[in-house]
Amino acid sequence: MPLHLPLLDLLALGYSLVSRVAYVMYIGLALRRADADPATRGAAAYARFRRRAAFLMYHDGVVFVAVCLLTRGTLDLPLPLAWRAAGAALVALGVAVKLWAAATLGADGYYWRNFFEPESRPAPRIAGPYRWLRNPMYTVGYLQTYGLALLVASVPGLAAAAFSQGAILAFYRLVERPHYKRLYGGGGASGRRRLSTSQETG
């Protein structure tokens, strides 16, 4: 499985990793600040956060797709048609689950509104893919990143996909999950991503 990674491919991968770090660091620090300091909350603060988070989220998604396309053909796979079919299936499954989870959360949940306006939180509930998966947005909802990398046979794409998912899962464990445990108490419904997200496109 020979690899072909010229300098430009490595630079593209590096930019993708920096983009993901910027996104996760921004949302993590902003949400922790809102969680810790009531003075940083409110509708205006949430609107500012949502604009910035959306920009970073969509930038990160575009960068990931660009990396996959710019570095296509760097992975030499046996039976390439079978791998591409598997990649297409992963893309379809991941996108479907992510859209389903996002629709279940709603726009405010997707952008973590209850960090800024905790009084607005809806009652915790188990619905959509959350009936079967503890965290569909950050787990199965990331399969499309691996699928796209396989479709175009991109080594940097696979590396960026793994890094991106690892970074968002770290954010979940360090920032999001503790917030929901405090907000709703205990593990049960609070440990599941029902009322917040993402940004994730990627």
Q: Do residues 127 and 44 lie in contact, with contact meaning Cβ atoms separated by under 8 Å? A: no
Cα gap 76→155, rounded to integer Å: 9
As to burial, measured by CB atoms within 10 angstroms (0-12 exposed, 13-18 middle, 19+ buried), residue 141 is buried
For residue 79, what are the contacts with CB-CB under 8 A and spacing of at least 6?
none
pLDDT for 165? 97
pTM for the model stands at: 0.83
Whole-number Cα distances in Å, 190 to 35, 41, 127, 154, 197: 16, 21, 13, 37, 14
pLDDT for 189? 36
Whole-number Cα distances in Å, 92 to 26, 117, 142, 146: 29, 34, 11, 11
Q: Do residues 172 and 138 lie in contact, with contact meaning Cβ atoms separated by under 8 Å? A: yes
**DSSP codes of every residue in 182-201:** HHH-SSTGGGS-SS------
Q: 126 in helix, strand or coil?
A: coil
Residue 24: both structure tokens together: 């996760």
Show pLDDT as tens, one digit a residue, over the chain (202 residues): 445 567 888 899 999 999 999 999 999 999 999 988 888 899 899 999 999 999 999 999 999 999 999 999 888 888 888 999 999 999 999 999 999 988 888 877 788 888 898 776 655 567 788 888 888 999 999 999 999 999 999 999 999 999 999 999 999 999 998 888 887 775 433 333 444 433 333 3
Q: Where are the alpha helices (DSSP H) in the chain?
A: 7-36, 43-70, 80-110, 113-116, 143-151, 155-171, 177-184
